[in-house]
């Protein structure tokens, strides 16, 4: 980037990263887990994101680097097996997020156009097709990816805000409003666990870190960009959750779990509203896939450049890092073998751990960054507690998602250990031979 980024652009990076495909993908899942307490679940997840953003603010100002999270982890732990494994987990978590977005696209698209008149087959066709299309666009032109994202952010926010106002008006006298009563909330521990499963809907604010070196007046604008974007999205998600739970009976939400936001537009706007929200979901998830593919390819390249991933990943294919193609293929596999809840659980566990580590780095480097030690420490503890609660809750209801999450974390550590060991052996052999 040669172009400097103003406050508005920085905020749009954060908002665009969060309000990508996450809300469209996980809203139905959130309601199934938290019931009438869904707005509280989003609030709890948002508070954790806001606390974590404090660490990101301080680290982004002290260590501005386009490597973002990867560079922060290296700054805190050096280039060790641990930092390499966590950086690799970030890359894998990007792949999981891509699978989540593709899953949402595959769930919404058949509502507009059925291809085979078989819901499951149509899902796989659309989910796979959108990944392939986004990969082609990424290889064709990075500039096109940027333009798509710029237009998509505006379109999806206009549609979501319109949904809030129209849906909010439709709540007047709606009998389903009683579903929001405290008596319909799940138990506090389940509410918290539900919030952590959908934590992936907030992870995109960390993209501001990658733009930190280019932000005008960083001392003021970096903190504003993080806090304004996270607070705005918390409010947006809570209101969307209120409108959805207050508009549709739980039974209908369960039936339309994968495309519940479109279903929630029906009571006020009928089929037209359903179609408009479906289009918004398709635009959002497509733009999120486009941008995340580009970001994942670059993260993969950064990790390899830092000698924490095989140097083969420094190779380029059609002027893009080879990691872009590897990411696309891995996403295609994941979205076609895992269900939505397992994908969401794996993504949330990955990002909770990563954000917990970033908070710990913020705590460890508080003297260098001039930050309050307590806030990053609270963020670290909360992220770790949230991870344990999430795994415990999902162990009872979604064992597959838990096993996948643990396997991914284990794989990242083992692969990094083997790589570092081999690199050390190669270096020692070279010294011996010379």
Burial level of 175, CB count in 10 A (0-12/13-18/19+)? exposed
Give me the half-sphere count of Cα atoms (radius 13 Å) on the Cβ side of residue 246: 21
**pTM to 2 decimals?**
0.86
Confidence at residue 1, expressed as pLDDT on a 0 to 100 scale: 43
In the numeric block, the tokens 């969060």 are attached to 18
Per-residue pLDDT tens digits for 265-322:
888 778 888 898 888 888 888 888 887 787 777 788 788 887 777 777 777 777 777 8
CA–CA–CA angle 388, 389, 391 (5° rounding): 65
Contacts of 80 (CB under 8 A, 6+ apart): none
For the beta carbon of residue 136, count every other beta carbon within 10 angstroms. Answer: 10
Per-residue pLDDT tens digits for 371-394:
899 999 999 999 999 899 888 888
pLDDT above 90: percentage of residues in the chain = 29
- pLDDT of 247 > 90? The answer is no
């Amino acid at each position: 980037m040669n172009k400097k980024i103003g406050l508005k652009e920085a905020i749009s990076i954060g908002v665009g990263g969060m309000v990508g495909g996450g809300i469209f993908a996980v809203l139905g899942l959130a309601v199934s887990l938290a019931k009438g307490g869904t707005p509280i679940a989003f609030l709890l997840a948002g508070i954790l994101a806001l606390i974590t953003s404090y660490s990101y603010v301080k680290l982004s100002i002290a260590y501005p680097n386009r490597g973002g999270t990867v560079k922060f982890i290296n700054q805190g732990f050096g280039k060790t097996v641990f930092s390499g494994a966590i950086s690799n987990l970030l890359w894998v978590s990007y792949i999981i997020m891509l699978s989540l977005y593709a899953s949402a696209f595959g769930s919404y698209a058949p509502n507009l156009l059925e291809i085979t008149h078989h819901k499951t087959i149509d899902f796989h066709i659309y989910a796979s097709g959108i990944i392939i299309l986004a990969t082609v666009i990424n290889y064709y032109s990075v500039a096109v990816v940027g333009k798509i994202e710029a237009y998509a952010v505006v379109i999806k926010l206009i549609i979501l805000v319109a949904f809030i106002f129209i849906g909010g008006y439709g709540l007047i006298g709606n009998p389903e409003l009683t579903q929001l009563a405290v008596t319909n909330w799940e138990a506090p521990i389940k509410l918290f666990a539900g919030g952590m499963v959908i934590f992936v809907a907030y992870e995109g604010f960390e993209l501001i870190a990658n733009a930190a070196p280019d932000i005008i007046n960083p001392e003021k604008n970096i903190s504003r960009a993080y806090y304004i974007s996270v607070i705005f999205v918390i409010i947006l998600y809570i209101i969307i959750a209120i409108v959805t739970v207050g508009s549709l009976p739980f039974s209908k939400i369960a039936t339309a779990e994968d495309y519940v936001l479109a279903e929630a537009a029906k009571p006020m706007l009928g089929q037209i509203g359903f179609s408009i929200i479906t289009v918004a979901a398709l635009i959002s998830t497509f733009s999120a896939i486009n941008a995340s593919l580009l970001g994942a390819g670059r993260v993969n390249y950064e990790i390899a450049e830092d000698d924490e991933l095989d140097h083969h990943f420094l190779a380029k294919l059609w002027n893009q890092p080879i990691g872009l193609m590897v990411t696309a293929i891995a996403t295609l596999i994941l979205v076609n073998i895992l269900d939505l809840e397992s994908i969401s659980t794996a993504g949330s566990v990955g990002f909770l751990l990563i954000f917990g580590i970033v908070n710990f780095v913020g705590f460890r480097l508080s003297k260098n960054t001039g930050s309050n030690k307590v806030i990053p420490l609270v963020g670290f503890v909360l992220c770790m507690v949230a991870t344990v609660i999430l795994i415990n809750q999902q162990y009872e209801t979604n064992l597959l998602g838990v096993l996948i999450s643990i396997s991914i974390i284990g794989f990242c550590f083992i692969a990094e250990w083997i790589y570092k060991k081999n690199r050390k052996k190669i270096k020692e052999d070279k010294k011996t031979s010379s």
